[in-house]
Every structure is written in structure tokens, then in C-alpha cells.
Amino acid sequence: MESWYLVTCKSRQEERAATNLLNQGIEVFYPKLTIEKLVKGRRTIKQSALFPNYLFVCLESQNGNFSAVKNTRGISGFVSYGPNYQIVPTELIEQLKSERLQTTSSTIPKTGDVVSVNSYSFNNIKAIYKEPDGDMRSILLINLLNKQVEMSVDNKDINQY
């Protein structure tokens, strides 16, 4: 009977470990999270591990090649509970597999979010995020003289509340 096991990876080597295990014919599950970030004022989309430093592997409970997994490049070892390796319920793996495509996260403000502008001209001014204006700028609504004015601001000058 096959079971899913939890293994730990060396720091930031999940991708390497998953590739090496797949090359050995071992089934691996490595859930990823898609993140939209501002990096140096530019919008970027990046994928990172949902569970950093962990992978799920599927092996035969009795005759599985546990030593091959432990000796794979990028793997630190199995997560164990006492003398036994930690078994992950198949239902949990299936649930994670079905939800992983919908998993996205964003650190970029959404329309209507209150933000703070920190630039040379405007220091700690509250504004309302309206929409992106290319990769490096955004349009904000700033209250000037009791009137909301649209203004294009560099993304690196915007902080979320």
C-alpha cells in the first residue's frame, strides 16, 4: 500500500530535490504559491513554496525505497514521529492538489485600498489606490484642498496600511 510521507529539504532546495526524486521515478508533490509583488518599484509575479523546506513523497509502506529518498541531493531527511516516519493523509494531499491552482497572493494594493505616499513632495499623505499605471507607477486619488485629485506615483513611494 502506498502512503504519502513528509520530507524536509535543505534551505531553498525544494525544486532541486523534487527534480532529483522525479528522475528516480518517485512521485513527489511540491505545492507552490503564486505571489505578485513590487520589487524595486516593478510588478513581478513569482512562485514560491507553499511549505518552505518541505516536500511530500509517495512510497510503498513496506518495500519503499526510503534510503534512496534520504540520500537524494537536496533532501535532509524524513519527518518522523518517534521511530516512525510521518504519514500524511491522502485526503489532505488531494485537497492541496485541488486548491493549488487557485492559490495566489498579492502584496500589491487593490482598488479602493488606503495607502500612504512617501515621496519628496508628499510625505505620509494618505491616498486611495485606483489602478496600475504601467509596471512602475500607479494612479492614486489624493485629497488636495478638499478635492480628490488623480495622481500617478512611482510604486516605490507607496506603502500599504
CB under 8 Å to 72, separation ≥6 — which residues?
A: 17, 20, 21, 24
Q: What tens digit of pLDDT does each residue of 44-79 get?
A: 778 888 899 999 999 998 888 899 999 999 999 999
CA neighbor of 79 nearest in space, from 3, 5, 27: 5
Consecutive H or E run containing 78 = strand 75-78
Residue spans of the chain under pLDDT 70: 41, 100-107
Domains 2-106 and 114-160 are alike in CATH topology: no
Show the cell assigned to 93: 494531499
Q: Rounded to whole angstroms, how far apart are CA atoms 98 and 56? A: 15
Show the cell assigned to 89: 493523509
* Maximum Cα interatomic distance, the chain, rounded to a whole number of Å: 75
CA neighbor of 56 nearest in space, from 5, 2, 1, 3: 5
| pLDDT (0 to 100) of residue 106 | 62
CA neighbor of 59 nearest in space, from 89, 15, 27: 27
| CATH T-level fold of 2-106 | Alpha-Beta Plaits (3.30.70)
CB under 8 Å to 136, separation ≥6 — which residues?
A: 41, 42, 154, 155
Taking phi first (over 0 means left), then psi (-120 to 50 degrees means alpha), and beta for anything else, what does residue 36 get? beta
Show the cell assigned to 13: 532546495
| pLDDT (0 to 100) of residue 103 | 45
In percent, the amount of the chain with pLDDT more than 70 equals: 94
Q: Domain map of the chain by residue range?
A: 2-106, 114-160
Cβ-based burial of 135 (10 A; exposed 0-12, middle 13-18, buried ≥19): exposed
| CATH T-level fold of 114-160 | SH3 type barrels. (2.30.30)
